[in-house]
Structure 1
Amino acid sequence: MNPGRPLYLAEQVRELDRRTIAAGVEGFALMHKAAQAAYRVLRARWPEARHLSVLCGAGNNAGDGYVMAALAAAEGLQVQLLALRPVERLVGDAARAAELAVARGVIITPWTAQARLEGEVIVDALLGTGLSGEVREPFLGAIERINAAGRPVLAVDIPSGLCADSGAVLGAAVSASATVTFIGDKLGLHTGAGPARVGECYFKRLGVDAEAHGDLAPVARLLDEALIGEVVAPRPRDAHKGDCGHLLVIGGAPGFGGAALLAAETAARLGAGKVSLATAPEHVTASLVRCPEVMVHGVRGAPELAPLLAGADAIVVGPGLGQGPWGQGLLQATLAAGKPLVADADALNLLARGLSEARPPAWILTPHPGEAARLLGGDAAGVQADRAGSLREIAARFAAVVLLKGAGSLVGEDDGAPLALCPYGNPGMASGGMGDALSGILGALLAQGLAPRAAAEVGMLLHARAADLAARAEGERGLLAGDLASYARRLINGVGWN
């Protein structure tokens, strides 16, 4: 099984760089190789461009920019090179790179607040992965000027101002059209604000096999949709509904029936053999009209839930549950049942309030950043500043598999294993009910026998990839959660697209 491309923290990649040089690869040769790789991407993406603006800071990131400027000048392109660090203050390989650029006829112009960006394409070689605090002047002004230029931007290794470890914006960050990153791919390029700032991401190993260094374990792995077919086995020819699991969806407090029904209907489309819905009695008729395949039960409180819990193989609890006495009673009964379950939405909010200390033996929590913050007693900004760490802390507190939603959704446990990161999804998913559809997908997979970690990873892929296919068919705006089920069904069945 392909585990997915490894993702590393910045310090790990710097260590890989150090080991590569110690093994006999000259540092300047490695810099030249990186610059050549980035320059090839630039020429392939913008072959008609004849004028570049290259902005260089200090250190190796700037050195890559200087070498790129030299390569462009050697090819006959016009190069505007703006230096935010005086050339005479550069040291080591960065200084050699600046000398190479000058030797190729590049004029180095000191950056000023009045500088105009003249190139058809802008190269961002300002700040590398070593940035830890917020961006300060003059880099702040340069980043703002790049973003206001309205021209394509190629970021070298990482968009300046983006945290390589978390994907958080450190005060300000370049919004790149494309990013070329080297040696080891970085977690922050793919989660948090990373996907919105990176553009199309190109990973260049530069001949370095990061996974050969077993002591540098990746912090995460970038999943591929191929995992779906590897984990979800075809059904035997004599399968019947009893073999495919019975999922119970619990939610839909008075006035909030749609969320639970959406989860239940999505679960039915994803292959759960039987789907029951426990909801407020006033929602039963509408639920039957909407999806007669779902067995709907009106429940007034926890005592009426007991026989439904006994018959379920897996449970989804939370969509539209509410935080009043009705939802509290149902959640407490559900947690005590000891069945594999997915906790979402108001179930998470009630857990954050300390409603119950019960911990099912196998469960998945699916918070978005706001819900994650409530579970941790913090704020959403803090979660986004350390998505991986926040996920691990929630997993430890609740002894659960956690799926932290958002751009670059993450799945993991408190077991030290690399997290799983989803590279799919689009802004069309910013609409009501998407989390309910995800819960239904996860519940269907649990009911069909997948372990919580596998269900969370595959479900995350199905949900996001289905949204991408739906957006490709009819656009992002107006994408509804109910649109995903038909696409996810085709994905889980390996049905091709004509």
Structure 2
Amino acid sequence: MRTAYSVETVRAAERRLMEALPDGGLMRRAAAGLAVVCGEALGRVYGARVVLLVGSGDNGGDALHAGARLARRGAGVTAVLISPERAHAAGLAALIAAGGRTADVSDTEVVRRADLVVDGITGIGGRGGLRPEAVPLARAAHQGRGVVVAVDLPSGVDAGSGEVAGEAVRADVTVTFGAYKPGLLIDPGRGYAGAVRLVDIGLDLGVGPGPEKDRVPGHSDHSGQAVTAELEALQYADVAALLPLPAAESDKYRRGVVGVAAGSARYPGAAVLAVAGALRGGAGAVRYSGHSADAVIARYPETLVSGGRPSEAGRVQAWVVGPGLGNGTEAQEALHDVLASDVPVLMDADALHLADRDAVRGRGAPTLLTPHAGEAASLLGSDRAEIERERLAAVRELASRYGATVLLKGSTTLIAAPSGGPVRVNATGTPWLATAGAGDVLSGLAGSLLAAGLDALDAGSAGAYLHGLAARHAADGAPIGAHDVADAIPVAWRDVRAL
């Protein structure tokens, strides 16, 4: 599992480590790791043209020391000093002693000609995008032929949220030190980071109270408070450990039954797609309740269908409600019926528009909300642009306000629990997944995992992971439909379990 920590946590750990090391020791460690990655990106260091974009902070110092190492290996290294009077003195001296040189901030041509550009303009405390004098350099790096390597994170990206408020450097590779920062895992920042390489510099980081599997014994911030990660990104092994597997004595009821209340005369396809996801999500059976029973049974005859109220469909271990449900009286009654049940409920699409916050908060069983940015904006009384800018804050606020686990869909999907703790982030999807009905498939899939016994956070996280991976398998570089995603879920499942 990848874990990302707040800027404050990382800085506190760095201060403790610096106190234990000789003066400049931590920067030299970081620079050594940075130089190794730069050398790998170049392939052949001797004779390569390397340009350092150097700001006034420690990231600029890291870039200068790494540049000195590359210069000693035969690279021609030029440092563009954005604030010459504030450049890291020891780093600059090391570069000059190794044969490097400096260039004026206006020299964008040297950036375009470089084989490799190292972005050390701002650090993890940077806010609000690049300063005006740095913008032409960032543009030249993007236009040039060289590989762009960012130090710790691309300059102009907010380390804590991934927000890009203005122009930012677009990196091919980001070398981050000691720990991942949230802005490297959440869009739009993730899209600026390229491939992320983590360099171990010896930081003492651990996570605090939470599931036993997530704890590192004996770790704290030395103030008596346990240190908790901001984000968690599941990997194959984590998801494989969550997926339900039938035992020899299992039958369809022991494996769990998921109910689907979805579809309408206008949107029968939403019901079919939600059922498609549910059938492939690990539960033993799917009960469908609604007006699209004929369409569902025609496509999936194994479904147990009912035309009455959801509470009359039979016993289930979880409900999925909302896709294509509509907003009329019958839709409202179906939602009320589902929310009154004593089993976990996943709410999507029309159920979110009809949602009553008090009704959701008052439930005794877990609830999982799965909005996209537009739906999240409606639930929070905000606008979509604000949600897209501040996705991490939005998903946390929704989870707190509704007392529910929230899965905020997007190019990076975020899943937050109402109790707080690390937010899960998932980036397995593909732009081809932006297609009508794909969210209905995700609802059925995650709902089925709920019925199979996963808690809401794990069901949302594993569902999003499999859904994105299935889309990648289905697309393989070409357009897909939602039904293709559903059909590829078994492929994704086997892929994850193969490790």
TM-score normalised by L of structure 2: 0.90
**Counterpart contact for 1:165–1:188, Cα < 8 Å:** yes
Give the corresponding residue for 2:17: 20
1:112 is aligned, of 87, 106, 123, to 106
| CA deviation string 1:88-122 (max 9, x = no partner) | 333xxx21101111111211112017544220222
CA distance in 2, matches of 1:496, 1:421: 20
Distance change >3 Å, CA 149–CA 270, structure 1 → 2: same
Deviations 1:52-90 (A, max 9, x none): 22211111011111112211211111223211111x333
The answer as to whether partners of 1:67 and 1:97 remain within 8 angstroms in 2 is yes
More moved, 100-109 vs 149-158: 149-158
Q: Secondary structure at the match of 1:210?
A: coil
Q: Which amino acid aligns with 1:45?
A: A
Q: 1:7 to 1:450 in 2, by over 3 A?
A: same
1:191 corresponds to which letter in structure 2?
I
Indicate the residue corresponding to 2:424 in structure 1.
Answer: 420
The alpha-carbon deviation at position 40 of structure 1 amounts to 1.0
Provide the residue aligned with 1:291 in structure 2.
300
2:63 aligned partner: 65
CA contact 1:376–1:394 (8 Å) conserved in 2: yes
**Cα distance, 1:380 vs structure 2:** 2.4
Query: Is residue 348–residue 367 contact of structure 1 (8 Å, CA) maintained in 2?
Result: yes
Residue 483 of structure 1 corresponds to 484
Aligned AA (2:22): E
Report the equivalent of 2:275. Answer: 264
* Aligned pairs (5 A) from 1:293-332: 293-298=302-307, 304-308=309-313, 310-332=314-336
Alignment match, 2:214: none
Question: AA paired with 2:482?
Answer: A
Secondary structure of the residue aligned to 2:50 is strand
Residue 77 (1) aligns with residue 75 (2): yes
1:172, distance to aligned residue in structure 2 (A): 1.3
Matching of residue 236 in structure 1 with residue 247 in structure 2: yes
User: What is the SS of the residue equivalent to 2:24?
Assistant: helix
Match for residue 458 of structure 1?
462
Structure 1 residues 151 and 290, CA gap change in structure 2 (3 angstroms): farther
Kept in 1: contact 2:18–2:25 (CA 8 A): no
SS at match of 2:254: helix
Q: Taking structure 1 as reference, are residues 343 and 360 closer, same or farther at Cα in structure 2, changes over 3 Å only? A: farther
Secondary structure at 1:277's aligned position in 2? strand
The alpha carbon displacement at 1:444 in A equals: 0.7
- The question of whether the paired residues in 1 share the 8 Å contact of 2:129 and 2:168 is answered with no
Checking the alignment, whether the CA contact within 8 Å between 1:246 and 1:274 is kept in structure 2 is yes
Unaligned runs of 5+ in 2: 207-218
Deviation at 1:129, TM superposition (A): 0.8
| 2:155 partner SS | coil
Q: Quote the residue 1:213 is aligned against.
A: 220
With over 3 angstroms needed to count, the CA separation of the structure-2 counterparts of 1:233 and 1:285, relative to structure 1, is: closer
What is the rounded CA distance, in whole Å, between the counterparts of 1:246 and 1:407 in structure 2?
Answer: 30
Give distance in 1, aligned partners of 2:91 and 2:133. 22
Q: Match of 1:406, as an amino acid?
A: G
Q: CA deviation digits over 1:473-498, x for unaligned, max 9? A: x32x3133322334432454677679
SS in 2 for 1:402: strand
Aligned-partner Cα distance in 2 for 1:114–1:121: 14
Q: Pick from 192, 199, 223: which aligns with 2:234?
A: 223
Q: State the one-letter code of the partner of 2:433.
A: M
Change (3 A) 1:320 1:358: farther
Identity of aligned residues (%): 33
Match in the other structure for 1:6: 3
Q: Is the 8 A contact 1:352 1:374 kept in 2?
A: no
Correspondence for 1:408: 412
Deviations 1:437-492 (A, max 9, x none): 11111111111122222222222222223233334xx32x3133322334432454
* Aligned pair partner of 2:130 in 132, 135, 159: 135
Q: CA deviation at 1:373?
A: 1.5
Task: Tell me, in whole angstroms, the C-alpha distance in 2 between the residues paired with 1:306 and 1:223.
Answer: 35
Aligned counterparts of 2:172 and 2:354: Cα–Cα separation in 1: 41
What's the Cα RMSD here?
A: 2.4
- Supply the distance in 2 between the matched residues of 1:423 and 1:179 (Cα, whole angstroms): 17
How many residues are matched?
480
> What is the alpha-carbon distance in structure 1 between the residues aligned to residue 438 and residue 146 of structure 2?
34
CA distance 1:139–1:205, change in 2 (3 Å): same
Q: Is the Cα contact below 8 Å between 1:401 and 1:413 reproduced in 2?
A: yes
Q: TM-score normalised to the size of structure 1?
A: 0.90
Q: 1:434 aligns with which of 432, 435, 438?
A: 438
Residue 358 (structure 1) shift: 5.2
Picking from 258, 262, 276, the partner of 1:247 is: 258
1:443 and 2:447 correspond: yes
In structure 1, how many angstroms separate the alpha carbons of the residues matched to 2:101 and 2:151?
20
2:188 counterpart residue number: 193
- Residue 55 of structure 1, aligned match among 53, 59, 62: 53
Aligned residue type for 1:40: V
Residue deviations 1:366-423 (CA, integer Å, cap 9, x gap): 1122211111111223223332222222112211111122233222213232222224
Aligned partner of 2:277: which letter? T
